[in-house]
Amino acid sequence: MRRAFICGNWKMNKTASEAAAMLRDLRGAVSMVRDRVEIAVAPPFTALAAAAKAIEGSNVELAAQNCHSQGSGAFTGEVSAEMLKDLGVAWVILGHSERRQLFHETDAGVNEKISAVLKAGMLPIVCVGETLAEREAGKTLDVVSTQVKGALKGFSAADGARFVVAYEPVWAIGTGKTATSRQAQEVHAHIRGLLTELWNPDTAQQVRIQYGGSVKPDNATELLSQTDIDGALVGGASLKVADFAGIVKAKG
């Protein structure tokens, strides 16, 4: 049985003090789901240290939104996996569609970053998903296959079993348009099939696949009740305690 995993992706929102204030409220609002649902939040880099302090001793874990693939060196403006680990980060979101579209990230680049994250002792949340044009052209499953295979290439089943994959249709992110539970389940089942080919059936059954794209308290129950939807990666609705806790409770 896979334990549900809800992660908030705050994107470029909240200062360190705003993050700490919200997390002090959130930890109380989600404490009752402790063993049933795994919960993480991904504040911007500048708020990670304050967030780590605010969630100490709670059932909320810390995630980051990106990292560099190299351990250190002349990469102005970048942050390494080790630096994140040192702040108490457990998960790193990689290959988010905003990073792919706005910052030219590739599957090969995501693959390298996964290695860095594992080496530092953290785990990746690997994002995949098609654009509206790709869906309308009937290419959704091909696009997702290429992304999953490219990003996860070369990792052992033992490592892979602990990875999280997030299926986020680009057309559903921040738009208020959610994939129907049927559309999402179809892609999630396809991804689990790819993981079976890549590793083995046992490992594929262990990997948690989150859905992301306009998840809200009122659509979370329906999405999260699908066989292969094991959690959610939540953007806009993760910025308010009541909304995020509402999504957590939909599963808990």
Active site amino acids: 96, 168
Report, in angstroms and rounded to the nearest whole number, the Rg of the chain calculated over CA atoms. Answer: 17
Q: CA 59: distance to chain centroid? A: 17
Q: Taking contact as CB under 6 A, which single stretch among the options 29-37, 57-65, 143-151, 211-219 is the one that binds ligand PGA?
A: 211-219
Q: Minimum distance from CB of 20 to ligand PGA (Å)?
A: 22
Q: Is 220 in the site for ligand PGA (CB under 6 A)?
A: no
Among 95, 169, 212, 231, binds ligand PGA (CB under 6 A): 212
Among 28, 71, 121, 174, binds ligand PGA (CB under 6 A): 174
| CA distance to 10, 130, 156, 188, per residue, from 136 (Å) | 29, 10, 34, 18
Query: How many amino acids of this chain bind ligand PGA (CB under 6 A)?
Result: 13
Spatial neighbors of 81 by CB under 8 A, at least 6 apart, are 67, 68, 71, 92, 113, 116, 117, 119, 120, 122
Among 39, 204, 234, 248, which residue sits at the site for ligand PGA (rule: CB under 6 A)?
234
Q: Which is nearer to ligand PGA, 117 or 198 (CB)?
A: 117
Dist. CA 95–CA 106, nearest whole Å: 8
> Which span (15-23, 115-123, 180-188, 213-221) binds ligand PGA, by CB under 6 A?
213-221
Q: What does the per-residue mask of binding to ligand PGA show for 140-169, with x meaning CB under 6 A?
A: ----------------------------x-
Tokens of 73: 């060196």
- Give the Cα separation of 169 and 178 in Å (integer): 9
Interface residue with ligand PGA, options 30, 39, 152, 215 (CB under 6 A): 215
Question: Which of 134, 135, 128 is CA-nearest to residue 165?
Answer: 128
Binding stretches for ligand PGA (CB under 6 A) = 9, 168, 173-174, 212-215, 233-237
